[in-house]
Amino acid sequence: MAQFTSSTSGLPEVRDVPRHVAIIMDGNGRWATSRLLPRVAGHARGVDAVRTIVEACARRGVEYLTLFAFSSENWRRPPDEVSVLMRLFMTALQRELAELTESGIRLRVVGELQAFEPRLRELIAKATARPVPEPRMTLTVAANYGGRWDILQAMRRLLIERPELAANPDRLEESCLEPYLAMAGTPEPDLFIRTGGEQRISNFLLWQLAYTELYFTDTYWPDFDAAALDAAFASYRSRERRFGRTSAQVAASA
Ligand code: IPE
Ligand code: IPE
Ligand code: MG
């Protein structure tokens, strides 16, 4: 059978350090509760861990780091917790931006941003418009992001711009949809990390994680440091990425 056009058709170059790392930063609430602190204290410490991991990834030569900060489903949390999360997001944007730019890190935010209050939207627009020539790393923050939302919004935009596809659905290929996805132009994640012990995707990058190596750790996000990141990278290095092929085929192409 002929191979259909797919981003997973080729074998990616294998590197010691993953080119694109995507992280579900989970366990802030339990980190706090286990210390008899309010959940929001865990979110505040979570911001510190973000700083540590962004720096550590840039130093190790990661080119793309994508962090799940707030899911489409997180609106279901108590309103107080949601507003603390929004406030933390705003202060982090304001406080960290200069440092990110100085370190050659380009910031991008993906998700359904219209749902945020105008002040936050303005901040995001300003922060992401800041030019970083020849960035060392692209940091993407997924905020009010959901994998299903992403696939649907991409499909909607594709059909608006190319209505002829609706009449000829057999012409619809993966590569038609990809430019409309929120992560367009970014290679798919090589390594997915989820902290906090749960082993699920929670509606993160559903399309893009098709062949990503998955790594789960019990460590709560506020405790996830450079050594924990290195442990994830060591696990990644031990994997054989076959993309449907046999081990012998992969060895022959190396
Ligand atoms: C992740 O930590 C942060 C967000 C979802 C914003 P949690 O808040 O989910 O922490 P747990 O899972 O309750 O411990
Ligand atoms: C996933 O964490 C979303 C983020 C980390 C932003 P949750 O803690 O909300 O995930 P579930 O709902 O427990 O799967
Ligand atoms: Mg959680």
- Strands (DSSP E) along 97-164, which ranges? 105-110, 137-145
Is residue 111 one of the residues assigned to a domain? Answer: yes
- pLDDT, one tens digit per residue, over 10-59 is 887 788 999 999 999 999 999 999 999 999 999 999 999 999 999 999 99
- pLDDT, one tens digit per residue, over 150-177 is 999 999 999 999 999 999 999 999 999 9
Is residue 40 one of the residues assigned to a domain? Answer: yes
Is residue 15 one of the residues assigned to a domain? Answer: no
Q: Find out whether the beta carbon of 25 lies less than 6 Å from any atom of ligand 1.
A: yes
What is the span of the domain harbouring residue 248? Answer: 20-253
Pairing outcome for strands 64-71 and 137-145: parallel
Residue 161 sits in a domain of what CATH number? Answer: 3.40.1180.10
End-to-end CA distance of the chain: 24
Is residue 226 one of the residues assigned to a domain? Answer: yes
Q: Find out whether the beta carbon of 74 lies less than 6 Å from any atom of ligand 1.
A: yes
User: Are the C-beta atoms of 217 and 240 separated by less than 8 Å?
Assistant: no
Say if residue 2's pLDDT is above 80: no
Residues 6+ apart with CB under 8 A from 137: 54, 57, 58, 62, 63, 64, 65, 104, 105, 106
Question: What b-and-e string marks burial along 109-136, b requiring 16 or more CB atoms within 10 Å of the CB?
Answer: bbbeeeebeeebeebbeebbeeebeebe
Q: How many structural domains compose the chain?
A: 1
Is residue 168 one of the residues assigned to a domain? Answer: yes
Is residue 151 one of the residues assigned to a domain? Answer: yes
Q: Find out whether the beta carbon of 26 lies less than 6 Å from any atom of ligand 1.
A: yes
- pLDDT, one tens digit per residue, over 51-106 is 999 999 999 999 999 999 999 999 999 999 999 999 999 999 999 999 999 999 99
- Which residue, judged by its Cα, is nearest atom 13 of ligand 1? 29
Among all residues, which ones are annotated catalytic?
A: 26, 74
Is residue 78 one of the residues assigned to a domain? Answer: yes
Pocket mutation for ligand 1, best pick of 23, 24, 30 (most atoms within 8 Å of C-beta): 30
CA angle 249, 252, 254 (to 5 degrees): 110
Is residue 3 one of the residues assigned to a domain? Answer: no
